[in-house]
Amino acid sequence: MTPSVLFGRLADGQAVHSLTLAAPGGLHLDVMTYGATIRSLKTPSPMGAVETLIGFEDLADYESDKTYQACIVGRTVNRLRNAAFRQEGRVWQVTPNEGPNHLHGGACGLSRRIWQADARSSEEAPVVLRYVSPAGEEGYPGNLAVEVTLSLPSPMTLQIDYRAVVDAPCPIDLTHHLYFNLDQAKGGDISNHLLGIGGDEVLEVDDACLATGLRLPVGDTLFDLRQPTALSAVLAQQHPQLTHIGLNQSWVLKGGGAPAATLYGPKTDLELALHTDQPCLQAYTGLPRDVAAHGAIALEPQGFIDAVNQPAFPSSWLAPGQIYHRTSQYRFQHRA
């Protein structure tokens, strides 16, 4: 059996363990039981192992972090207007943690819980993490049982599977909040990364980054990333939907087997192709530089923003007897 390693203890004394997932000649992943957080994701290269994610060295930094470093987010990712939604005439009030609104599952959500890890036979075996969220946690209805599986279907591909069931109707939308900088091993900034996103539309948002219910075509705008473009060129442009912190947009994906996004780091010659069955992808470049000196970009496969309050968007409700299942793959390659 492959044991987990004690990574540290939270301020309240709870133990947090770290698990390694690795393929011979391929990716090397460290994930901890606190928030199902991926602490490290390294690829092999001629220069040695290349770290692709930013993160922290100490558990205390993760515990105090407000930027959702590489953790799972939910029960619903992104923002819910006025931290509330209706179901069969009843109003459910969830935790407001961004002004009057609800962000990434609330004050703690799934991000700050201790997950249970299944036993494993080797470091190549998938990591399976489980958590049961009791009815009323962060204000959500029903008991929620969540299972996250991290696996390496090929040496250079990380796959994350999310499964969940409920015993009462509840909106569900899960993802990992991974921040990438493919050039950090060479001190590179993300501004020269090439970003491509396979979407013809972005979701319009208001000043609070809440969905208005409208979709905007990307043609002739800085959001047209159907051909990979340097982030420096994207962020140098102006658009009413571009925030003061940079990109914080959700693209409606075309699907059809094409990558949801590609990201290329020119200093390491490393490329990431992200594939997902989620309908949208959030890209976020607003990480404060005191968190990551060379910057990073979050790529978050997810459902439609605030779908529970937007009747024009596909539903995010999960009913008893149904199984929520979403899959994302992160495929790496060196171009050279």
Each residue's pLDDT tens digit, 306-336 = 999 999 999 999 999 999 999 999 999 998 6
* Domain interval for residue 276: 5-334
Residues 6+ apart with CB under 8 A from 36: 71, 72, 110, 115, 129, 131, 148, 176
Cα separation, 106 vs 129, in Å, equals 20
* 58-76 pLDDT per residue, tens: 999 999 999 999 999 999 9
Count the domains in the chain: 1
Cα separation, 329 vs 116, in Å, equals 23
- As a whole number of Å, the end-to-end CA separation of the chain is 37
* 97-114 pLDDT per residue, tens: 999 999 999 999 999 999
* 284-308 pLDDT per residue, tens: 998 877 777 678 999 999 999 999 9
**CATH assignment of the domain containing 250:** 2.70.98.10
